[in-house]
Amino acid sequence: MADYNTIRATQAGVQTAQIDEGLRAHMNKVYGTMSVGLLVTAGVAWAIGSSDALLGIFRDPVTLSPNILGWIAMFLPLIMVFGFGAAINRLSAAGAQLFFYAFAAAMGLSMAWIFKAFTDLSIAQTFLVTSISFAGLSLWGYTTKKDISGWGSFLIMGVIGLVVASIVNIFLGSPAIMFAISVLGVLIFAALTAYDTQRIKTDYLQHAQAMDSEWLGKSAIMGALNLYLDFINLFMFLLNFLGNRE
């Protein structure tokens, strides 16, 4: 019996080690894919935003008011997110990754105007602040023993409220409403960063026994997408506070 218990304990220890190793690889895949997506977004946004000729295709180069193509560029990432959620089960892991990078490029197109509206230094400083904040929040979400899964429904309702308020304020142009949206946006996406990190970890641990490579690949892409959106939104809301306008 003692020998049997020793073998069983050894097997359990090996299995736990394998799951821990797999979790590290999974999270590396999530963060790596997210980082490449951010580089794609930054590259596209800078290339278009630093060129008056290219930016002029989508916005008035002086007032930065969007034209028809500009409105399409603004809403294209939102449409692609909903499309990605609907198509993820029909896509391969490689197809999902390609779609994510295409989405990151579309997001860069929609954000290109910031390089005309804000100084390059303030954009770089805001990106640094966002990166440090994101890293701390994500690390807390990964390591905390507290179950924060209950935050999900409240945070999703908050995001929906932000989207509706932002669309309404496009037409109202109220600085007070924009300030309130920015404050709430920073708080909501800070919380979402921790929540999504824990959810990615929990989902992996719940499915680790099956070791379905196709699921793992798609799950990593979806996790990267969620954290990417948290980072981008946190950056944009912080830019409203920290950015110096041209």
Res 195: pLDDT = 96
CA distances from 230 to 85, 127, 224, 233 (A): 16, 13, 10, 5
Please, is 56 exposed, middle or buried when counting C-beta atoms within 10 Å of its C-beta (0-12, 13-18, 19+)? middle
Res 94: pLDDT = 85
Strand residues in 35-84 grouped as ranges (E): none
Where do the structural domains in the chain lie, given as residue ranges? 2-242
- Residue 59 CA to residue 57 CA, distance in Å, equals 6
Asked whether the whole model's pTM tops 0.85, one would answer yes
Res 246: pLDDT = 64
Tokens of 209: 């026994």
Res 29: pLDDT = 93
Res 212: pLDDT = 62
Res 9: pLDDT = 42
Res 163: pLDDT = 85
Res 210: pLDDT = 61
Res 14: pLDDT = 44
* Ranges in the chain, pLDDT < 70: 1-19, 208-214, 244, 246
